Chain A
Amino acid sequence: MGTERRRISDHDLGPRGGVPGLRVERRPGARAAARSRLHPRALWRARWPLLFISPFFVLFAVFGIYPILFSLWLSLHEWRGIGPMRWVGLENYRFLFGDGIFWGSMRNSLILFLIYVPVMTLLAIVLASLLHAGFLRLQGIWRALIFLPHITSMVATGYTFRLLLETRSGFVNQALGVVGIGQVAWLDDRWWARISLGLLMIWAWLGYNTVIMLAGLQTIPTEIAEAARVDGATQAQVFRQITVPLLRPVIIFSVTLSIIGTFQMYTEPLVLTGGGPVRATETPVMQIFQTTFANLRFGYAAAMSYVYFAVIVVITLLQFRFVSREDAG
């Protein structure tokens, strides 16, 4: 989970991903060309290259397309993982739309997103700007330090956070006690548990987002900021009026990843809160996992996965529309 899920591939940064300098132009007539290439004779002529690229497609069909289609089929059945599947039609979907626990987990994701993503994004921009500005010595060390939490095992980080945030014996509450602040129920109260999870997410993902922002900053020509400074702009003005607007596509890209990441969150809440208290930090993926492997309701879990997938697609499409409008403007 964790590290794989937001690794950037060229595809992510592709035509409409919005990272400056990486835009790929689409040739006119490309589609017609593609059609002609699918002609049997053309295919035969290209048999050797096709053979050499086929391993990917074979593996993708077996491990990608087949499971996707099978889940769809599965979502129309009741199945305990073994034995005969019982056809139930749309019953799983019907039940799902009234399933308060599932929609509660979606709501949890939304709340978590609002709790940590704005703060994390802002911190990432600020940190990236500081690193980019070059007035810090030992840049490499700072970059490594900022990125370090991201490559630390989430299980180790999560358990450390649990120890620190324990209400009565945790270090954080003891430290707060010294300053005269009473005990905070970091993990025992619904809202505090969500905030604690947000803190863990910021700790684990801030470095990652900082690196994305830094990459973005490095594509912004320095002349623009220089020109502004010549015109008498202060450092703060340059940041607000020049840097942030030019960075916008990258910010939106990073926020998109964070949205998807939040809805896919699994390891972090599992280790920190186990989804509690009272399901306040339970996420859709935790629900799907439990439904599949603990409750052995494969069909229902498949239906959950499809609905959850649809929600993520809708959110991502909205994001992309937003981005392309920015590009046009």
Chain B
Amino acid sequence: MGKDQRRFDPALGGTLSRRALVQRATGGAAALAAVGAAGAQPRAARSAQNTDLSGKLTIWGWEAAIASLQTVDSAFQQAYPNITLEYVQKDTGDVYQQIQLAASAGSGFPDISVIEDSHLAQFAPLGVLADLTDRVAPYIDKVNDYKWTQAQVDGRTYAMPWDSGPVAVFYRRDLFQQLGLDPATIATWEDYYAAATRVKAELGASMMHLAKARGESRTFEMLLWQQGLGYVDAEGTVILDTEPRVQQTLEYLGRFWQEGLAADTESWTDAWYQEMANGNVVTIPGAVWMGTFLKSFIAPEAAGQWGVFPLPVWTPEGSRSSNDGGSALGIFETSEQRDAAWAYVEFHLGREDSQLTMYRETDLFPSLETTYTDPMFQEPDPYFADQPVRALFAETVATVPQAGIYTVDYQEMNSLLTAEVQRFALGEQDAQQTLKAAADAIRERTRRA
């Protein structure tokens, strides 16, 4: 699931970046995917009934998330006949604001809420989420390692990871063929840059989207995460201006801007979708959910035209993936039915069959690694010319490193960095000045070293 993009809705307005827009987009896509899911029966046999746990659970989430969770509910109801479920659908930004308000009021929490990783790190330390450390213990080794970082504070765990956002490069098969370009030869970011110059010279097109004045730093964050870098290191010290690889990464993006190799189009706009659909932009370094968007509403008629290759590397042993987005389920400290709530969370997110149902029906990529051996991952995907795309993501997601991107101050850091990177993209300052300015602002405002 994408990061929360709140900009769409002036009522919540929020982070002033484009938060709800993507969420609506995500919602639309997954809702579409979910249409076929209604009434679908889970494939695996379910365990015996548990009638001891009872009560009514209130679950907050946005449209796409609820649609996804509901694909498992008939099986859950069979297993726990005395637990009733009440879903409350809200806009993504509203979920966070209302958790805030409930927290200020000291009441009004649901039992369970969906929370994106980008916000989880902000909420976990506030003390409103129940400590799940002992309950999640059996799953620690079964879930993508990096997913726990956002959910943990001082070694205690406050949420159960749901889906991951492993990143790869989506590319136009037909246009690569036209250029005689084999995606297997794009192994490093230098290869990718070389391909970009050919795409510009021979096709007159752009290798990727990278907005300048209206950019959102998302690609930059993704490239940092791939290298285990971010705004801060594991100790919380700001590393934007002290870690040379951050600057090298920004300078790499700078070449795309200076040489006009990227399309300067704001994300999540009609123009942005069109350029992906009509071949003006030939690759998308993006998370797994981008594939869902392509299929469902960006280029639904382009079956067979798109393919996926793993993210190019910075160093020979580097990770061939990164992460963008992802979410988790949290149980609230105030819930009086934490056992029932945990039964719900564990049934939906801890069981391979449930996670696989949600992945198949609503395309949320499981963080639960024990699902990856399912034959479903080897199925050819007709949209991607029968390439078994799921397997590619499953193979590379294990290599995603820990990174200091989604921290307690993520919203603020992202906003401070974005304005400076926009200046850099416009050629008003160099990479070093950019990162110094962003790092200083972040240090000053978040009181970090």
- Asked whether, in the complex, the Cβ of A270 is within 8 Å of the Cβ of B214, the reply is no
Q: Most B CB atoms within 10 A — which of A158, A274, A282, A297?
A: A274
Determine the chain B residues whose CB is within 8 A of the CB of A295 once the complex forms: 409, 411-412, 415
| Contacting residues of chain B (1-26) with chain A, CB-CB under 8 angstroms | 6-7, 9-10, 12-18
Q: Does A294 lie within 8 Å of B16, measured CB to CB?
A: yes
* Chain B residues in 8 Å Cβ range of A235: none
CA distance A15 to B7 in the complex (A): 41
> A168 to nearest B CB, angstroms?
6
Which of chain B's residues has its CB closest to A277's CB? B213
Give min CB distance, A219 to chain B, whole Å.
36
Does A36 interact with chain B (Cβ within 8 Å)?
Answer: no
> Contact size class for A?
35 or more
Interface pair B415/A277, CB less than 8 Å apart = no
- Identify which of B61-69, B262-270, B314-322, B353-361 touches chain A: B262-270
A287 nearest CB neighbor, chain B only: B16
> What's the minimum C-beta distance from A291 to chain B, rounded to whole angstroms?
8
Q: Which of B15, B96, B122, B409 contacts A290, CB < 8 Å?
A: B15
Q: Is the CB of B265 within 8 A of A168?
A: yes
Report whether A1 and B422 are in contact in the complex, using a CB–CB cutoff of 8 Å: no
The answer on a CB contact under 8 Å between A82 and B127 is yes
User: Quick check: B415 and A290 within 8 Å, CB to CB?
Assistant: yes
- CB within 8 Å for A276 and B214 given contacts A266-B10, A294-B15: yes
Task: Decide if A270 touches B13 in the complex (CB within 8 Å).
Answer: yes
A290 to B6, CA, bound (A): 11
Return A200 CB to nearest CB of chain B, in Å.
13
Chain B residues near A279: list those with CB within 8 A: 419
Q: How long is the Cα–Cα vector from A169 to B271 in the complex, in angstroms?
A: 6
Q: Classify chain B: how many residues form its interface, as a range.
A: 35 or more
Q: CB distance B104 to A274 under 8 Å?
A: no
Within the complex, what minimum Cβ distance (angstroms) separates B288 from chain A?
26
Chain B nearest Cβ from A293, distance in angstroms: 6
A296 beta carbon closer than 8 Å to chain B: yes
Q: Name A160-194 residues within 8 Å CB distance of B.
A: 162-163, 166, 168-169, 185, 187-190
The 8 Å CB contact of A293, one of B97, B127, B265, is B97
**Contact flags B211-246 to A (C-beta < 8 A → 1, else 0):** 011100000000000000000000000000000000
Docked complex Cα distance between A259 and B72 (Å): 54
Q: Contacts A82-B127, A274-B18, A278-B419: A293 and B10 contacting too (C-beta < 8 A)?
A: no
Contact A82 B213 (CB under 8 A): no
Does B103 make an interface contact (CB < 8 A)? yes
Asked if B168 lies at the interface with its beta carbon under 8 angstroms from chain A, I say no
B10 touches A296 (CB 8 A): no
Residues of B within 8 A of A278 (CB): 213, 419, 422-423, 426
Q: How far is the CA of A82 from the CA of B271 in the complex (A)?
A: 41
> Contact at B271–A168, with CB atoms within 8 Å?
yes
Say yes or no: is B126 at the interface (Cβ < 8 Å to chain A). yes
Considering the complex, give the chain A residue whose CB is closest to the CB of B265.
A168
Say if the beta carbon of A316 comes within 8 Å of chain B. Answer: no
Residues of B within 8 A of A199 (CB): none
Does A89 sit within 8 A of B, measured CB to CB?
A: no
Q: Which residues of B sit under 8 angstroms from A293, Cβ to Cβ?
A: 12, 14-15, 96-97, 100
Nearest to A300 among chain B residues (CB) is: B445
Contacts of A313 in B (CB 8 A): none
User: Per a CB cutoff under 8 Å, which of B96, B103, B214 touches A188?
Assistant: B214
Q: Is the CB of B13 within 8 A of A82?
A: no
Q: Can you report 9 A-B residue pairs in the complex whose CB atoms are below 8 A from each other?
A: A81-B103, A82-B104, A83-B126, A188-B214, A273-B214, A274-B214, A289-B13, A293-B14, A294-B415
- Besides the contacts A277-B422, A294-B412, what 20 more A-B pairs have beta carbons closer than 8 Å? A82-B128, A83-B127, A168-B265, A169-B270, A169-B271, A188-B213, A189-B213, A270-B13, A271-B7, A273-B214, A276-B213, A276-B419, A277-B212, A282-B16, A286-B13, A289-B13, A290-B14, A294-B16, A294-B411, A296-B100
